[in-house]
Amino acid sequence: MATIIPLKGLRYNQEKISNLASVLTPPYDVIDDSAQARYYAENPANIIRLELGLTFPEDTSTNNRYTRAAQYLEKWIEDETLVHEENAALYLYQQEFLFRGEKVIRSGFICGLKVEDYENGNVLPHEETLSKPKADRLQLMRATASNFSSIFGLYSDEEKYIDNTLLEELSGKLPDINIVDEDDEIHRIWVIDKADTVNKVVKAMLKKKIYIADGHHRYETALEYYKEMKEQGYSGYDYVLTTLVNLYDKGLVVLPTHRVVGNMPDFKLDSFLDKLNIIFEIECFGNKDDSKAFLHDLETRGKNQHAFGMYVSGKLYLLVLKDFEQANKLLPENKSDAWEKLDVALLDNIILDQMLGINEQKRRSQDNLAYTRSEEWLIEQVDNRNFQVGFILNPTRVEEIVEVAEAGDKMPQKSTYFYPKLITGLIINKLNNK
């Protein structure tokens, strides 16, 4: 079902770039202005100049961040700052990181994934997308005909045939890339170009579906770009740079994305608690000094119940759903059972929308809403009165993501955060590169 190919990837020339970490960045969508400036200053060959170039007041239609990215790319290929792989390859990719104080290794492989409409059922999304990021990425693809950041996809292989096939090729080999990034996370890449091994993996993937974990905007942009090029009579633009991870990989970590809400002039805590009390058991847990025990309790309750944390007016509250059937009547119609059971669907559609008046349009505009992974930041923002209420979620489980995707539904924005992010610049996919 899923069609993948090995790539003749572009890689930084380690004979010219001795410190690879100095030219790599996180994905563009988590880079703010200060980080962008820092990456620009770190190394003149930093991938930021390709992936998220600076804009200037004097920019024109012929001289802008996209045209400059194309110029940098051409120059770096010409002077061999970037070099093409000699043979088409799959790239075994391991990320080693700390999670809750313990070492974790997530393994996957980088390839080209054939782009196709979601309706075909071979590549499935799980989140809604926004038009503005896609317009930006499309302009970059038109200018450079390249993928600089990888899609993050999941596939199901309980027997770990694909993992084991790739790992057998290592046999004690040192990684071709081995770096420590700014967050002290380790990234290792092994180039696997043995034809027999590559063919085994490609054939095995034909039986799999791909679930997009991260990179929906980039995938949909790649699909649109492919269709544009096909209409113009060009071929070779139908594969997008993708990192695939087995659903059964022990290093697969999903974190929650919390919500903070503000800019509500008529908000009154007492009346809001009365509304919540209709469908939630409410327990006042204490102040922020009790946050560690509170988060542990929230996680424990969430294993068997729909439970949320709330921070407001210096107090932590535990909200536990009383009756799912009662709450289900308040959710939008024509949604799957899998979607209706999501904590984030209950929070966004019942608490935010119906109780606080923050509907889907307002959530998209984010005038009343911000998102964060950090419970500490959430508490700080409410304490500083930048926001009025914070809501803390348990993470969405991987099986829930798959069930929603299989049902043809999409989760609300910011439902998941796969940790850690894939790093940008390890492998570049120059489209139509034969």
| Cα 393 to Cα 384: distance, rounded to the nearest angstrom | 21
- At 364-403, the pLDDT tens digits run 777 789 999 999 999 999 999 999 999 999 999 989 988 9
Contact predicate 239/429, CB 8 Å: yes
- At 47-98, the pLDDT tens digits run 999 999 999 999 999 999 999 999 999 999 999 999 999 999 999 999 999 9
Stretch 1-12: mean pLDDT? 95
| Cα 69 to Cα 361: distance, rounded to the nearest angstrom | 34
Stretch 398-413: mean pLDDT? 87
Task: Please report the pLDDT score of residue 434 as a whole number.
Answer: 54
Task: Please report the pLDDT score of residue 131 as a whole number.
Answer: 59
| Cα 434 to Cα 429: distance, rounded to the nearest angstrom | 11
**How crowded is residue 136: how many other Cβ atoms within 10 Å of its Cβ?**
17
The Cα-based distances of 297 to 143, 158, 280, 344 in angstroms read 51, 31, 16, 18
**How crowded is residue 235: how many other Cβ atoms within 10 Å of its Cβ?**
9
Domain ranges of the chain: 4-253+419-430, 257-394
Task: Please report the pLDDT score of residue 365 as a whole number.
Answer: 73
Strand partners, 316: 286, 311
Contact predicate 409/336, CB 8 Å: yes
Interaxial angle between packed helices 65-78 and 131-144, expressed in degrees from 0 to 180 and rounded to the nearest 10:
40
Percent of the chain clearing pLDDT 90 (strictly above): 85
Amino acid at site 196: D
Assigned architecture for domain 4-253+419-430: Alpha-Beta Complex (3.90)
Task: Please report the pLDDT score of residue 366 as a whole number.
Answer: 75
- At 322-353, the pLDDT tens digits run 999 999 999 998 899 999 999 999 999 999 99
Task: Please report the pLDDT score of residue 412 as a whole number.
Answer: 85
Stretch 25-31: mean pLDDT? 91
| Cα 267 to Cα 257: distance, rounded to the nearest angstrom | 23
Task: With cut-offs at 50, 70 and 90, classify the pLDDT of residue 129.
Answer: low
Give me the CATH code for the 257-394 domain, please: 3.30.1760
Same fold, 4-253+419-430 and 257-394: no
Amino acid at site 230: K
